[in-house]
Structure 1
Amino acid sequence: MDVDMPGMLTELTHVVPYAIGLSLPVALVGAAVLYVLRGRSLTTALTVLVLVPLAATLTGVLGVTGFMFGPMMTTVVVVCTAVAVVTVPLAVLLGRSIARRSVWEREARARERAAEASRRELVAWISHDLRTPLAGIRAMAEALSDGVVAGPEEVCEYAGRIHGEAQRLAGMVDDLFELSRINAGALQLSFSAVPLHDVVGEAVAAENPAARNRGVRLSTVDSDWPVVSGSDAELARVVRNLLSNAIRHTPADGAVVLAAGHDGAHGWLRVDDACGGIPAGDLERVFDVAFRGTTSRSQSGGQTGAGIGLAIAQGLVHAHDGTITARNHGPGCRFEVRLPLAQAAHGSP
């Protein structure tokens, strides 16, 4: 079959500009729609990007053919419809996948920035807290070595104070080691049935001297003390950290009250203090590493710390498949720990 190439080229020179003229408004409308939807989801934008070329193509073909439906026109419409049926769902799936990945990446970057900020804050506060006892130890050691302090009673007093500062430093190092184990997932817990009453009793006895020195009353409410599944030593540390935090922030003549009970398959322990409450914006940060609130630099009673006691408590509770929360309650705050009951953990009724 002979093809009239000059005639075909002449026809194309008339058809192509006409088709472009018909398709261009559709493309411009699509661009305007994309601009209006620029703040919407990526899925919507991809769907519009898929539909606009198809609509522009179909408009151009319909215009060139004069809206006369013949076999070729029907074929074009069917093809465009089939392409839309295939590409639109793919665009939706692709948009959702990219959006989920974008959200995950943003969350990962936010967690990384928060972790880095927390590390910097921890290093800064640890440096501050280490300098204070080290400076005291250095000054008292120099006084002893230079003979400034020579009397037996004074020597004993200085030795006792050096011992106390050394214990504080050792406690800070132990806290950092424990936190590193928690963050590294290196905790090796040996679970057994732990009577919560015994753990609380030992913790109260250990923290009572510090409470008396600050004029804070420690008390426990008569409760139906649960037996939980956990590691005795780690649970004791959780309770002591919570008590130490409560005592440190409760003013003289205030009270720290402990209560316990159980509901369902979990036992709970509550520690109520009289700190005056925590600002709403800080409640979500009380378990962050190195967060000690607005009074962290002016703790009375000579108590200092790295601000990681609550972070350690949270890590240990989570290692027991439990939860720990903080909220304002009464004259202060309530810290509540929930742990699986020993019976429930072992499948007993």
Structure 2
Amino acid sequence: MKSLQRRLFLAFILIMGITLAGLASVLGQTFPVLQDQERKAESEAVARHLDEMGIEMDSTALEELSRKMAEDGSGVAPARFMRLIVIVFAVAFIVTVIVFHRLTERYIRPIDLVTDTTMELAKGNYTARAGWAAPGIQIGLVTAVNALARNLQEMESMRETEAERLETLETLIANMGSGLLMIGRNSEISMANSFFLDQVGQTEEGLIGSPYKAAWLPEALVTLIDTVSVKEKPVTEQIDIRTDSGNRTMAVYSAPVIDKHGGWLGIVVVMHDISELIRLERVRKDFVANVSHELRTPITSIRGFSETLMDGAIHDEEAAMQFLEIIHGESVRLETLIEDLLDLSKIEKEGYTLRLQSVSVQDVIERSIRSVSGRIKNREMTIESHCPAGLTVKGDPERLVQILVNLLANAVSYSKPGTPIRVVASVSGGMASIAVADKGIGIPTADLPRLFERFYRVDRARSRDSGGTGLGLSIVKHLVDLHGGTIFVESEPGKGSTFTVNIPLSHS
């Protein structure tokens, strides 16, 4: 697109050229007429002069005189006149073009610069500037356009910054570990993040834009929102929500959104899943209660029998010996409980590491069997073991022995005297599987999911009589997890149980 200055300049040249050419053409046409009139006037003047001298000329002689005068001056004056016209017009044209060019350069070019700059601004190029610094009335227009461009550039920069912040905020809200729900002033849901949608089992398309009372939200949550709407004050409650993964406990905070002028904008709801905290609190309470109970039983026995001895039973040798045996047994049980608690605490401590190395499974099985051989002999039981030659795992040998000793001790404690126990090792999927099977009392199916909890006992009375602390399987589970393995149990009441431990092979 041609600039305004260039278009005006070309138009001016064209108009000036046409004007001068037309003027020259008119002058060229009128010159012969003027020349004939001049010749006629000269011939008449000559005739008058001759007449005054007494020389008379008839009309024929007068015409002849005029013709002779025309022939003497023809071809000279017209050529000179035309050259003069061309030179004068050319000089006038050049001077006028130069003057007009200077005028357009000074007054029209700033308009072209401003136009180009505004076109670039309209395209979104806010870095464009009109480069004009000459003084004059045009500098105000150029300065205003440049100021507008700078303001637009700053606004664009601020918009990009705000867009980045908004995108970051949206990403944060979408991926935050708490549920967020926004309800507009018209009681319609305007926003809900993915955590909230997952917890209430809804989709964004089915929730956004719907009135919160018609959006199939949990009844307790709707009641909470109604309370905030009526009271216009923040409310915090703990509610239970049924989800696909089961019942979840939520800590819900809801508050009205009010602008600085007191206008009602809506309601915000923030929902935290505290199910795990509730579970851990329950586990902590159960743990404290169980520890207290487990400690109270032997301490009560030790205190009771020691007081009996102090009251005079010590003089009865047979009774004193029986009481001392009970006190010794309870003290051993108390020591075992404390050792298991310390061991479990050490295993669960953050930063606890194993001394991993290549370990022979056969050696682990043999060491474990030797550790429980005395108890096996007392109950007249037998252990049958089978392990492929050269089978090795990556683990801590002492902790692997501890795992198997706990499993074998349980098998001995909960099996009838004279029944066999089998320990079988095999390879499956890059793991060494060690199975400990017994013919004991078995475990009900309902108790299997909680079997590895601390202090959980299927038969509390029999477990306590067997000398168990209720921590053995919990220790086993933690040690197996530290080895990167798995443990599971299969059991049928009255027919026995099989505990299977999977530990990664040493080469894997």
Query: TM-score interval w.r.t. the shorter chain?
Result: 0.5 to 0.7
CA deviation after TM superposition for structure 1 residue 175, in Å: 1.1
* Contact preservation (8 Å) 1:208, 1:218: no
CA deviation after TM superposition for structure 1 residue 238, in Å: 0.9
- 1:299 equivalent in structure 2: 463
CA deviation after TM superposition for structure 1 residue 109, in Å: 2.6
Q: Which has the higher strand share?
A: 2
CA deviation after TM superposition for structure 1 residue 284, in Å: 1.5
- 2:207 equivalent in structure 1: 46
SS of equivalent to 2:372: helix
CA deviation after TM superposition for structure 1 residue 153, in Å: 7.2
* One-letter amino acid of the counterpart of residue 204, structure 2: T
Q: Cα RMSD (Å) of the superposition?
A: 3.4
- 2:298 equivalent in structure 1: 133
- 2:261 equivalent in structure 1: none
For 1:236 and 1:291, locate their aligned partners in 2 and report how far apart those are by CA, in whole Å. 23
CA 1:307–1:47 in structure 2 vs 1: closer, same or farther (change >3 Å)? same
* Contact preservation (8 Å) 1:229, 1:339: yes
* One-letter amino acid of the counterpart of residue 470, structure 2: G
* One-letter amino acid of the counterpart of residue 317, structure 1: V
> How many residues matched?
257
- Is 1:238 matched up with 2:420? no
CA deviation after TM superposition for structure 1 residue 174, in Å: 1.3
- 1:342 equivalent in structure 2: 506
SS of equivalent to 2:450: coil
CA deviation after TM superposition for structure 1 residue 234, in Å: 1.4
* One-letter amino acid of the counterpart of residue 46, structure 1: L
For 1:210 and 1:186, locate their aligned partners in 2 and report how far apart those are by CA, in whole Å. 35
CA deviation after TM superposition for structure 1 residue 270, in Å: 0.5
* Contact preservation (8 Å) 1:199, 1:236: yes
Q: Which has the higher helix share?
A: 1
* Contact preservation (8 Å) 1:256, 1:274: yes
- 1:312 equivalent in structure 2: 475
The structure, 1 or 2, with the larger RCO (C-alpha pairs under 8 Å, 6+ apart) is 1
Superposed CA deviations along residues 219-244 of structure 1, whole A, max 9, x for unmatched, are 32354462111112211111111112
SS of equivalent to 1:284: helix
Identify the match of residue 419 of structure 2 among 234, 243, 254.
254
SS of equivalent to 1:270: strand
* One-letter amino acid of the counterpart of residue 335, structure 1: F
After the TM superposition, which residues 206-245 of structure 1 pair with which residues of structure 2 at under 5 Å, given as runs?
A: 206-221=371-386, 223-224=388-389, 226-245=391-410
- Is 1:190 matched up with 2:351? no
Identify the match of residue 331 of structure 1 among 489, 492, 495.
495
- 1:165 equivalent in structure 2: 330
* Contact preservation (8 Å) 1:272, 1:333: yes
Q: Which runs of 5+ in 1 are unaligned?
A: 1-29, 32-38, 51-98, 345-349
Query: Structure 1-normalised TM-score?
Result: 0.63
* One-letter amino acid of the counterpart of residue 501, structure 2: V
For 1:108 and 1:251, locate their aligned partners in 2 and report how far apart those are by CA, in whole Å. 46
Query: Structure 2-normalised TM-score?
Result: 0.45
- 2:238 equivalent in structure 1: none
CA deviation after TM superposition for structure 1 residue 167, in Å: 1.9
After the TM superposition, which residues 46-195 of structure 1 pair with which residues of structure 2 at under 5 Å, given as runs?
A: 46-49=207-210, 109-150=274-315, 158-195=323-360
For 1:240 and 1:191, locate their aligned partners in 2 and report how far apart those are by CA, in whole Å. 19
For 1:278 and 1:155, locate their aligned partners in 2 and report how far apart those are by CA, in whole Å. 39
CA 1:115–1:275 in structure 2 vs 1: closer, same or farther (change >3 Å)? farther
SS of equivalent to 1:343: coil
For 1:181 and 1:108, locate their aligned partners in 2 and report how far apart those are by CA, in whole Å. 29
CA deviation after TM superposition for structure 1 residue 313, in Å: 0.4
* Contact preservation (8 Å) 1:291, 1:307: yes
CA 1:270–1:156 in structure 2 vs 1: closer, same or farther (change >3 Å)? same
Aligned-residue sequence identity (percent) comes to 28
* Contact preservation (8 Å) 1:125, 1:290: yes
Answer with 1 or 2: which has the greater Rg.
2
* One-letter amino acid of the counterpart of residue 115, structure 1: L
* One-letter amino acid of the counterpart of residue 444, structure 2: P
SS of equivalent to 2:435: strand
